Amino acid sequence: MYRLAAKRLLPALGRRNSHFLSSSSGVRALADFINPPRFTTSAASETVSSQNPLNNDSFASSSSTVRSEEERSRAHDETQRSRSPTRPKAHWQEEQARVLHASLRHVIRLGWTDAAMIAGARDVGMSPAIVGSFPRKEAALVEFFMDDCLQRLIEVIDTKEDLQNLIPSHRVAKLVRIRLEMQAPYISKWPQALSIQAQPLNIPTSFKQRAMLVDEIWHAADEEAADIDWYVKRTVLGGIYSTTELYMLTDTSPDFQDTWAFLDGRVRDAFDLKKTVQEVKYLAEAVGAGIGGSLPGFMKKVFNG
Amino acid sequence: MATALRSIARSLRKNNIQPLCNSRSFLHSHATSFGFKEVREEEKSQMVGNVFTSVSSSYDLMNDVMSGGLHRLWKDRLVSKLNPFPGMKHLDVAGGTGDVAFRILENINSVKNRAMLDVHDDNLLEETKIYICDINPNMLNVGKKRAEERGFGDNKSLIWLEGDAEALKFEDDSMDGYTIAFGIRNVTHIEKALAEAYRVLKRGGRFLCLELSHVELPVFKELYDYYSFSVIPALGELVAGDRESYQYLVESIRRFPSQEKFASMIAGARFQKVEYENLVGGVVSIHSGVKF
């Protein structure tokens, strides 16, 4: 599944990097999990981190690095494939993804639990013993779901034409809504998922997944905007997304009408704030220009007089 | 650790019994290792047999004394990594005394697991089968006795079988899990045992191996070596009244492949997602792999 995610993400990184800054380490991590090592080693305490393929702060990097890394990783991938033709076709990551995908069907009944994963494994004809090979079992399921939703969201962004006709604030609201609607079927079990994500061991991954999601939405919302600080924008949207997500948990209105009204309100607030900040900036500039203009004049007067 | 000894005894005794194994050993070489010494295979089996006979009475006690009780935690860790589930078909090789099997059964029967059972999965618990396979009938008897003491006497989930890790009497793709604790080191042909494990496992089934391994941490290594070569034989003399046996044990640990090497052997047996975890800095390690 990560291979798939990486394939999606790499081009996404490539097209995005014109206005984002970051290091190339994230990209290397991506390349690493495209070509996972044959076996991993782990000391007792680090079992988790060593197998967590989403440990990439992959927001972007300078365009050249991304492209070259991407090409290199692809080339590497190919050479690896040609080097070991006997390698079984069913790669363990793909098999694990299949199990997780089948498990999602059981989540509504069994929750984000071992039991759902065991049922999922049975569905795809795997021994349920495979569940034991997932690091941080239930978290793996939630994280898979998050990745899956992100992919679907990216597909929506890439294919939906009418999104382009909306103004940025509506586009943001629409995308957040599309994303949240994806977890609507699981709403009764979503608090459990949130609690799993909030466990100390799982926080790094869930935080990164949210960061990637918010990033994707902002990117789709306004291509060229670089006016307010990059981090502020993402933090604000992250806040909106999370509060709406929580609001949704207790929303009993049909089709979550209240939630979407709430979401629209928060997005409007944010854009108003943005406008306010903009206005303050203009005012400051005007005042600055005024002072700048008047001060020399004043000084001239003083010295001349 | 004494498990190690008796499984050596087992595998070698088997060699004596089975003409096939003997002919195989003729093909290779008559000489084999007994600790650091090179001896003839027949001699070795005799020697290991003696070793085993002399320590069997204090076997459990010595396990606790040598590891300071840690072997219990290691086995717990092994089982928690296995993540047993109701309805599981599990094979525990070289598990004569049932240490691992009891833990698996207790884990499956625990409240947590019962709670997550489906409504229509009521008979799943009865479907659970844990096969305990050991080459040595004496060890199986010890295990059966302990099962009775623990109240598992009439438990239908536990099935005691005499068998060789290199030639399992199970069908292909029949097991969900395979564990071998302190046993693989004593199997004559490790590759063969791994191939058998791969054969009997279902797709998605897991192989887990708990084994005494190699310590690489600088200072700890010196301490561990001192403990192994000076303290353990002395303990053996004191507790089991047999110094030679435990001298042999610590030597045989040193002859086992390193963690990396063993991991690549597992990968060589076509297992995927091969990982290992060192416990206590490598005194023991848990290797795992998945069959796809």
Q: How far apart are CA B7 and CA A217, in angstroms?
A: 60
Which residues from chain B sit within 8 angstroms of residue A118, using beta carbons? 85
Q: Per-residue pLDDT for chain B (292 aa), expressed as one digit of tens each?
A: 444 545 444 444 444 434 333 434 344 444 566 677 776 665 655 665 566 666 666 777 888 888 888 999 999 999 999 988 888 899 999 887 888 999 998 888 876 666 665 545 567 777 889 999 988 777 788 888 888 988 887 788 889 988 888 888 899 999 999 999 988 887 778 888 999 999 999 998 999 999 999 998 889 999 999 999 999 989 888 887 888 878 888 888 888 899 999 999 999 999 999 999 999 888 999 999 999 8
Please indicate if any CB of chain B lies within 8 Å of the CB of A246.
no
Sign of CA dihedral B167, B169, B173, B176: negative
How big is the A-B interface in CB pairs under 8 Å?
93
Tell me whether residue A82 is exposed, middle or buried, using C-beta atoms within 10 angstroms of its C-beta: 0 to 12, 13 to 18, 19 or more.
exposed
Helix axes B137-149, B99-109, angle to 10 degrees: 40
Q: How far apart are CA B105 and CA B92, in angstroms?
A: 12
Q: Residue B181: beta bridge partners?
A: B210
Helix axes A2-16, A25-34, angle to 10 degrees: 150
Across the interface, do B277 and A44 touch by the CB < 8 Å criterion?
yes
**Is the pLDDT score of A52 beyond 60?**
no
Could you tell me the pLDDT band of residue A92, with boundaries at 50, 70 and 90?
confident
Q: How far apart are CA B197 and CA B38, in angstroms?
A: 29
The per-residue DSSP string of chain B comes to -HHHHHHHHHHHHHHHH-HHHHHHHHHH-SEEEETTEEEEHHHHHHHHHHHHHHHGGGHHHHHHHHHTTHHHHHHHHHHHHH---TT-EEEEET-TT-HHHHHHHHHHHSHHHHHT--GGGTTHHHH-EEEEEES-HHHHHHHHHHHHHTT-TT-TTEEEEE-BTTB--S-TT-EEEEEEES-GGG-S-HHHHHHHHHHHEEEEEEEEEEEE-----HHHHHHHHHIIIIIHHHHIIIIIS-HHHHHHHHHHHHHSPPHHHHHHHHHHTT-EEEEEEEEGGGTEEEEEEE--
Question: Could you tell me the domains of chain B?
Answer: 2-48 (no CATH), 69-214+256-290 (3.40.50.150)
Please indicate if any CB of chain A lies within 8 Å of the CB of B118.
yes
Please indicate if any CB of chain B lies within 8 Å of the CB of A121.
yes
Among all residues of chain B, which has the CA nearest to that of A136? Answer: B81
Q: Is B165 annotated as a binding residue?
A: yes
Mutation site, B110, B119, B129, B203, interface A, largest A CB count within 10 A: B203
Across the interface, do B273 and A125 touch by the CB < 8 Å criterion?
no
Mean pLDDT of A86-112: 80
Q: A40 and A9 in contact (C-beta within 8 Å)?
A: no
Q: Which amino acid is at B32?
A: T
Helix (H) / strand (E) element for A297: namely helix A257-304
Q: B133 and B139 in contact (C-beta within 8 Å)?
A: no
Mutation site, B73, B83, B108, interface A, largest A CB count within 10 A: B83
**Is the pLDDT score of A34 beyond 80?**
no
ipTM of the complex: 0.75
Which of these, B276, B267, B272, B212, lies nearest to B81 by C-alpha position?
Answer: B276
Task: Please tell me the distance in Å from B288's CA to the nearest CA on chain A.
Answer: 9
